[in-house]
Amino acid sequence: MASSRSDQEPSILQLNLHTNTLRLIISLFVAGVIAVVSMYSASYPAGSFVGVSTFYLSVAIIVVASLILGVWGVGAAWLASIIYTTSLGMGPFDILLWSVADTLEGLIPLVAFRLLKECPDLKGGNGAGDRAAGPMALMMLIPIVLNIWSFPFLSTNLVLGLGALSTILLLIVVTKYSDNRKAMAIFIGFAVILASVVGAGYGSWRTQQMGGLPLADMLNAFWVWMCTNIMMVGGFATPVLYYTGRYLCSRDVYTTYWLSSDKKEQPVYFETLIYMAGLLSWVYIYVGLYMIRWFGTEPTSFIYLVPWTLGTMFLSFNTLTSTEEEILDEKTKSLKDKFAEIEGRVVVAESNTGQFILVLSILLAFASTILAADPRVLSVLIATVTLACAAITLVWIPKRKLTWLRALKAIKTTLHVLVVSLLLLAAFLLLFALFS
């Protein structure tokens, strides 16, 4: 909530959104993130099984999102699976049925935690976070090592089985350091094991139905799916819920209910909505580009996740911090002083963007010389220049309207982050064009 002010003009527009509207926006963002990660997981296919990956990181995001957002998180998993399976070229009927697998892997732990009335704070109280860090680091390394290191004397299924078993044993070790062992037991039993078994069972069955696989191949797909999901949820969802579970459970977006909460409406600053719009645009532009194979299909294309991840992190941080009121001295600062302070931040964003335009103008000339090698470079640079120019050409708000200056600052900051992220993407494209 915005604090009271002595000035006649409010510092920023504030809207009252229904909590479900806010969760819907967040779940759309989460769905986009899951979709991007899922599509890049296709770079690690498990043999000829459609949609089965040996590094399906998305399942860890699905579990965390479902436990925090409730049914909205499960819906995000379903939407992301629809996008992912569409990118694989499945038919509409297969898309709808196959997407149930990811939905189940979010729904099962959610039902367990809700029915048993437990918050997914895996650490609890004064749990030993430092002592649990070692086992969790090992859990994170297990799936990474298994995907980059070949074991010629062991079968793939045996290696995956050992990885899954090691993850479960390490989770038991982490439980010893937790002050909320009930939550850890629910998490291990339902999120790590049961959800992986059910999701793998349903998913491998649908894979068999679509491809007419023999029973032996279906069982092989089930084993790969189950073992990799156990490793991914254990290795990557556990640290998130162990170290940030209490914080996430304390946020208004978390609910002990299924869809809504006791808070019907929540105040949201207009600045926050601007950052959210930029964040959704950035995520779904990547989704669209991947679906048309704009980044290519070679395994090295995962490198383009770097600029996407940085841009998503920067915009997410701005979105989160914009939910809090500006720290301004209410008693001593006049409206004129407040305006000047925020105006200075706008000038900084504008100045930095102007410097990027100078860099971009040089890169444009350089990129045009290798246009025949990779025309994507020029298209990204043109888009970057367009956003940079838009950020600069936005004019001042007349008559010192503090409310609209704050909105202007949010817009310029969003455009500036997008310019930086696109510039980094252009740099990666240039490097690939030069050395390919």
**Average pLDDT for the chain:** 81
- More confident of the two residues 174 and 97: 174
The reported pLDDT for the residue numbered 256 is: 72
Phi-psi region of 296 (alpha: psi -120 to 50; beta: other; left: phi over 0): left
The reported pLDDT for the residue numbered 129 is: 76
Q: Which long-range contacts (CB under 8 A, 24 or more apart) does 260-265 make?
A: 260/19, 260/20, 261/19, 263/19, 264/18, 264/19, 265/16, 265/17, 265/18, 265/19
Residue 240, both tokens: 């998130």
pLDDT tens per residue across span 376-391: 777 887 787 788 777 7
DSSP label of 188: I
Contact between 146 and 160 under an 8 Å Cβ cutoff? The reply is: yes
Q: How do strand 14-18 and strand 265-269 relate by DSSP bridges?
A: antiparallel
The reported pLDDT for the residue numbered 351 is: 64
End-to-end CA distance of the chain: 53
The alpha-helical segments, DSSP class H, found in 322-400 are 335-368, 376-393
Contact between 416 and 311 under an 8 Å Cβ cutoff? The reply is: no
Residue 71, both tokens: 């049914």
Q: What does each C-alpha distance from 251 to 275, 339, 435 come to in angstroms?
A: 19, 31, 47
The reported pLDDT for the residue numbered 197 is: 96
DSSP label of 328: -
CA–CA separation, 303 vs 188, rounded Å?
32
pTM for this prediction: 0.84
Contact between 139 and 234 under an 8 Å Cβ cutoff? The reply is: yes
Residue 344, both tokens: 């200075």
Query: What CA dihedral angle connects 246, 247, 248 and 252, to 10 degrees?
Result: 120
DSSP label of 11: S
- More confident of the two residues 202 and 436: 202
